[in-house]
Every structure is written in C-alpha cells, then in structure tokens.
A and B are shown apart, each in its own frame.
Chain A
Amino acid sequence: MPQQLIATKLFFRNYLVFTLVVSFVHFLLFHLRYEMVWFIAAVDSVLSVFLLNFALLSLYYVIRYARTESLTSHSSIRNSVIAGVLLVSAWLFSTQWILQQLFATHPVYTAFLQGSLALRFIAGLFVASLVYLSFFLSIYQSSVQEAAQRESELKVLLQKTELQALKNQLNPHFIYNSLNSISALTLYSPDKAREMVGLLSDFLRIALRQDAMQTTTLEEEINNIALYLQIEKVRFEEKLHWSFELDPRLNEARIPALILQPVFENAVKHGVQQMEGSSTVVLRAFTADDKLVLEVENGFDPRFKKFKGEGVGLENIRNRMHLIYGSSQHVSAGAAGSVFLVRLTMPLVFAHSSKK
C-alpha cells in the first residue's frame, strides 16, 4: 500500500526532526548554561539523544501491532511504564559508559557526568513518555479512521444488496401487464376492472412497504402470494391454478417479507405461461430438522426449455436470505422430468423480530 508507505516516511522524517531539536536543546543547555566546551557538549548531546530516541523507536512497533483496545488496559499501561523505566536505565548506563571512555582525560567533564546522572534519568523518562504518548495518539487515530472507513464500506455494501433485493421483489413487467389487463377490462367488464385495481393496490401497498431486512409471518406472506395469483389469474384465466399445502401451526412463523414473490413470478412466467394447457403451482410449508422449509413446485414443458436450476432470481433470493440468516439457510432449485422445484430452508422463528 503506497499510502501507508508515504505515512511511514512522513513519520520517520518527523521523528528525525524531533530528535535533532531535542539534541540541539541539549547542546545549548550544556554549552551555554554549564559552559561546557562546545565540542564535548556536541558529542554528549548527539550521542545521548540519538541513542535514546533510537531505542525508543522500538516502542512504535510494539504499539502499532498491539490491538487498539488492549493498549488502554491497566496491565498494558503498567507494562509500558516498566518497559520505559528499564529502557531509559539501560540507555543511561550505556551512554554514561561510552562518554566516560571517550572523555577519560577530562576529569572536570567526568565529574560533571557523574553528578548529572539523576537529572539525565529524569530527562530521559520525560522524553520517553513524550515519545510514547505521541506514538500512541497517532496510531490510535489512524486505527479509528480505518475502522470508520471499513464500517462505511460495509454499510454501502449492505445498502446495495438491500436495494437490489427490493428491486427484485417487484417486477415492473408484472405491473405493466396488469395495467394493460385493467385497461382492457374497463371496456368489457368494468366491475372486474375495479376489483383488479383493488387487488393491485393491496399488492403494491404491501410490496412497497417492505425493506430487505424485514420479516413477516408466513400467513401474511401467503395472503400476499394469493393476491398476486388472483391478479395473474385475470391475465391467464383458466391456465393458472394454485394449491397451498400448509401446516396451520406454522402460520406465525417468521420469514423474509416477499421472499416467495420472485419464486412465484418465475413459476408463472417460465412454467404456467409457457404451457399449452392449464397448470398448477403448489406451495408447501413444513418443518424438517427444526428448520422451516418452503417448497414451490410448478410444471414446465421440457420440450421447449431446459431448466438448469440457476437463475438471477434465485441468486437474489440467496443473497437476501444470507443477509438475514447468515449461513444458516439454504436455497436450492432443480428440475425432475417436467416438474421444477424451488426449496427455501431457514431457521424456524416465531418471535417478532423485524430487524436483525
């Protein structure tokens, strides 16, 4: 990821600038305040500060690869304090040793060095906590941003799936064809036209009310399917028949709203409409292994079309079922002879829960 690389580069540059500033302050302090020879002050400041900041750099990786939540826990803070003290002690010991070796011939300086150890330790701790805090804040901020971005991406994905699912619940051709039928009925059977306007309105009211995550009772869903079939019956007349084989104990079971709609639309479009004679669409609802099973069966003429059991419609049903139930659902479809069967299996739920 180039963006992360740029961020890393920027981080190291800032850190270097910070290190230089600290060592310059250190130099000025020793040279001007303690009137140390400029050469010795320079070596002391560069050596001390660079060594310390180099050692502290390791903290960055410790914080970066720890989980954000765990960083703020008590034990984590205690551990950081202990690690900081140990790090600063080790640094102090090694710098003191090196400087002592370098300037062994300057007794005034070595005496000063011994006398300033406590001060150096406190200054070291101060710089270490400053560095730790800034590391922590920058990493914390970026991880919060990342999480927010991931969440918004997920949200967009969910909305897309929801929208697609909704679009597929309502087939515009069904509406156009129905309106055409109504238009015709006004000419020779105004009563029937009026009745059909009522049916279509009821159907649309239910269909437009739903969102993709919504569930309904099986009974309501079946009432709505009956509404749909009554509307299609006006178009197809004696060609279209249906039968529902239901267990009344399942009436209150909850299922995704309008999930059967596209299944019945397919059954009418590819089954009933394509047949020469009349044809019956069968709906069965039962339980198997404590799961709710819905089966829709329709006849088709294998001489005119082969069904391979997979279509866009089914894919959408599958997506929507997945959105609501995760992996505890199953959608299957297949043809045997001249019968096409779609089976939806989902958790058997009775409690009212319209949203996940």
Chain B
Amino acid sequence: MEKKIRALIIEDEAPARHLLTSFLQQYPQIEVVAQCSDGFEGARMIMEQKPELIFLDIQMPRINGFEMLELLRGEDLPLIIFTTAYDEFAIKSFDYNTCDYLLKPISNERFNKAVDKALEKLATRPVQAENALKVAEQAMGVGRFLERIVIRSGNQIAVVLCDDILYLEASDDYVIIHTPQEQWVKKQTLRFYEEKLKPAEFVRVHRSFILKVSAVSRIEPYSKDAYIAILHNGNKVAVSKAGYTRLKEVLGF
C-alpha cells in the first residue's frame, strides 16, 4: 500500500478544525495524524510526529504560529499552509512560492488549490524547511516589534517577556538571554534580535551584546576605546566604541 502523507492541523477554534478535516476527506492520500489547539502542543507534535504537511493558524493562545515555527529552528520543518483571518501586516510579506496561506473564511476551491500545490511540491522535491522558517521570521518583524521571546529547552517551552530582559549575549550559534532571575539559551542570532527588538529600548552595544537601555545604571570607561556598562543589578556588560555612540544616540546625551 502506498504510504500516506502525514498532516497536522494546528488551530485553536473547533469549528475551523472541523472545516479543515472535512475538506481533507477529499484527499484519501492525506492522513491527519493529530489536531492541536495551540502553538505549544503544535511544536511538540511536530517534533514527535514529524508530519510532512501542516495547517497552521497564526493567531493562537499562548504562542502564535510564527513564534511556534521560530521555536523549531534547527528541526526538520514540514510544508506549511497558514490559515488566518488577517490579511494585513505579516501575510503581505509572504513569498507565495515558499509558503501558501488560506484566508478565512476558507473556500473549498481555494483549499483544494493550496493542497494540490502542496502535494505537487511534496512529490517532486524534498521540503525546503528553511523557507518556512525564513517566512515566519520575516513576518514576526512586520508591523511591530517583538514583545516576547519563546524558548524551548528540552521538552519545556518558556516565554520571556521583553520587558523582563536585561541584556542578550551572543555565544556561538546561540543567544543567551539574561533576565533578573534566569538565563535562557536560544538558538538564534544576535543580528535577528537587533532587528526585531524595539530600537528605542534595546541597543547593540557590542559585537556580542544587546543591552536594554533602562537596565543601565552607569557607564564607565574601561580602556582607550572601550567602556563598561554597569546594570542596576550589578551585572557588567562590555560596550564598544561604536556601541557607546549608538547608546548615546538613544539616550540623547
């Protein structure tokens, strides 16, 4: 017997899930392996079930669809069809060739078109997981800046609010996020956060550091071309000459 294509539905509203499963009944070659009602569950199921195709709602409780994908950076990602009622901001940045999306209310005709295209892609070439990730990461910065960072450690998922961050530190392929209570390790680049965090609050002060302006208590000269920022909680962060200039611009002195 031919191997079925494994699909996952990640959608928080029951009626919308019903609609997708009933549309999918027209495709005997596709098997729905699970239905998830939020991004946490979705991320876990993608790692466990390794589906080839997912239907992903963007607005969901706890973490949204984009955050869920970004969380899976480094994993093998399936082919993604986004579903949403929102046609502004993020969705406008989609590259139609790498990812498809369905606008609610979803018509059967449009659904079939998207699934047919997905099946064609799955048949002809391996899924280019990086594309979906790129789309999600791009979309996250469209229209507004990040309010929080979602982190996965083992099977646990944590959410760090940007308001709680003191500074971010680059470490090889990872970024260490420092909050007053904890340190979180996230597979991401510092450059990503330099673009996505609110520039009035976060400043790239060094090749390896992004600093929250309001966390700084004082800045002291360290050597001829370097400074050191001392935070309210006593932590010290290196500031380069260029970083010092940027910091001065934001602080306006």
A: residues with CB less than 8 A from B are: 173, 176-177, 179-185, 187-188, 234-237, 269, 273-276, 301, 303-306
Most buried by B among A179, A184, A235, A236: A184
In the complex, residue of chain B having the shortest beta-carbon distance to the beta carbon of A273: B61
**Total residues of chain B contacting the partner, CB 8 A:** 25
Using A184-B18, A276-B62 as known contacts, say yes or no to A236 and B105 having CB atoms under 8 A apart.
Answer: no
The answer on a CB contact under 8 Å between B85 and A237 is: no
The yes or no answer to B19 lying at the interface (CB within 8 A) is yes
Q: Out of B16, B62, B86, B147, which one reaches A184, CB within 8 Å?
A: B16
Contacts of A303 in B (CB 8 A): 159, 161
A274→B105 CA distance, assembly (Å): 21
User: Interface stretch among B7-15, B121-129, B173-181, B206-214?
Assistant: B7-15
Give chain B interface residues in 97-115, CB to chain A under 8 Å: 103-106
The answer on a CB contact under 8 Å between A274 and B61 is: yes
The answer on a CB contact under 8 Å between A187 and B85 is: no
In the complex, residue of chain A having the shortest beta-carbon distance to the beta carbon of B17: A184
In the complex, residue of chain A having the shortest beta-carbon distance to the beta carbon of B160: A303
The yes or no answer to B148 lying at the interface (CB within 8 A) is yes
The answer on a CB contact under 8 Å between B85 and A173 is: yes
The answer on a CB contact under 8 Å between A274 and B15 is: no
- The 0/1 profile, CB within 8 Å of A marked 1, for residues 59-93 of chain B is 11111000000000000000000000110000000
In the complex, residue of chain B having the shortest beta-carbon distance to the beta carbon of A182: B105
Determine how close the nearest CB of chain A comes to the CB of B214; give it in whole angstroms: 14
A-B contacts, 17 listed (Cβ < 8 Å): A173-B85, A176-B85, A176-B105, A180-B85, A180-B104, A180-B105, A181-B16, A183-B106, A184-B18, A187-B22, A275-B61, A276-B38, A303-B159, A304-B63, A304-B148, A305-B148, A305-B161
The answer on a CB contact under 8 Å between A273 and B104 is: no
Contacts of B85 in A (CB 8 A): 173, 176-177, 180
The answer on a CB contact under 8 Å between B15 and A234 is: yes
The answer on a CB contact under 8 Å between B18 and A187 is: yes
B: residues with CB less than 8 A from A are: 12-16, 18-19, 22, 38, 59-63, 85-86, 103-106, 147-148, 159, 161, 163
The answer on a CB contact under 8 Å between B15 and A184 is: yes
Contacts of B19 in A (CB 8 A): 180, 183-184, 187
Determine how close the nearest CB of chain A comes to the CB of B84; give it in whole angstroms: 9
Contacts of A179 in B (CB 8 A): 104-105
SS class of chain A's interface: helix, strand, loop or mixed? Answer: helix
A180→B103 CA distance, assembly (Å): 9
Using A177-B104, A187-B22, A303-B159 as known contacts, say yes or no to A273 and B15 having CB atoms under 8 A apart.
Answer: no
Contacts of A237 in B (CB 8 A): 14
In the complex, residue of chain B having the shortest beta-carbon distance to the beta carbon of A171: B85
Contacts of B159 in A (CB 8 A): 303-304
In the complex, residue of chain A having the shortest beta-carbon distance to the beta carbon of B163: A306
A183→B109 CA distance, assembly (Å): 13
The answer on a CB contact under 8 Å between B105 and A273 is: no
Using A236-B13, A274-B61, A305-B148 as known contacts, say yes or no to A188 and B104 having CB atoms under 8 A apart.
Answer: no
Contacts of A301 in B (CB 8 A): 62
Determine how close the nearest CB of chain B comes to the CB of A172; give it in whole angstroms: 8
Q: Out of A176, A184, A304, which one reaches B103, CB within 8 Å?
A: A176
Contacts of B104 in A (CB 8 A): 176-177, 179-180
Contacts of A276 in B (CB 8 A): 38, 61-62
